[in-house]
Homo-oligomer: A and B are copies of this chain.
Amino acid sequence: MLGKAKIKQIKSLEYKKFRDEFGLFVAEGEKLVSEILQSNLQIDSLFCLPGTILPNHNIQANVISESEMKRISFLKTPSAAFVTAKIPDRKINISHIGDSLSLVLDGVQDPGNLGTIIRLCDWFGIQNIVCSLKTADCFSPKAVQATMGAICRINVFYVEPDDFFNNIDKNISIYGTFLDGENIYDAKLSQQGLIIMGSEGKGISPETEKHVNQKLCIPCFSDSATKSESLNVSVATAIVCSEFKRRKFL
């Protein structure tokens, strides 16, 4: 059921170069595959173990054995369903990006963090994520898995930061988190604008910092002389998004 050439193609999708070449990405697990089947993403191939029940769809499933599933899976424990889907061609509408709250990621490296951020944006109703070209690819297997399906719904765009910031409306509020910013709990926060989050190791880059017009910080509550210097980027993004959205109904 599963030829050598297909296995080779699927395994190559671990790498961005081949995802770009084939225009495909992979997703695994019954729940995630079900979400993708029910989304408007285009399916390339669907593989499942005998007896796997998936929601209504029009795709011809390839029933494969457990040992075949092991050969294509990127998980330690392969699941019962595996899909390759087309990477959607989502175009950024730069003139409307500041109409609601959008997130800008300036170099987030870890695909697990990126996927977790996409998932929490889905929760907080943040529809658009704009990533610098140095940010991890949202269609890598690890990132897709960490989104838990949110990749079907959230638009993730990759841009050259200077191009992007020079072309958006000059009146947009651009928030960024820094260790010396204003306490986010006291700051005036809008329901329109951009929230920039930096990379794991380096935070927001100097080139991006110059576009920020409102510096925020998440205050540290530890009394200890030695303490953590920062928060994990997905955790920090969650706290910032929570605080912005909390204000929506005040």
Contact = CB atoms under 8 A, between A and B. Distances in A.
Interface residues of A, number: 42
Interface string A216-228: 0010111110111
B242 A218 contact: yes
Contacts of A86: none
Number of copies: 2
A148 interface: yes
A123 B219 CA distance: 8
A234 B231 contact: no
Interface string A23-54: 00000000000010011000000000000000
Contacts of A185: 246, 249
A203 interface: no
Nearest to A234: B235
Interface string A156-200: 000000000000000000000000000001000000000000000
Contact of A231 (B123, B224, B236): B123
A111 interface: no
Contact of A228 (B150, B226, B229, B243): B150
Contacts of A227: 122-123, 153
A86 to B, nearest CB: 19
Given A232-B234, A235-B238, A226 B123 contact: no
Interface string A111-123: 0100010011011
Contacts of A245: 221
User: Which of A124, A228, A249 is most buried by chain B, counting CB atoms within 10 A of its CB?
Assistant: A228
A248 interface: yes
A239 interface: yes
A222 to B, nearest CB: 4
Nearest to A220: B123
Contacts of A123: 218, 220-222, 227-228, 231
The 8 A-B pairs with the shortest beta carbon distances in the complex, nearest first, are A125-B221, A235-B238, A122-B228, A239-B242, A125-B222, A185-B246, A124-B221, A116-B232
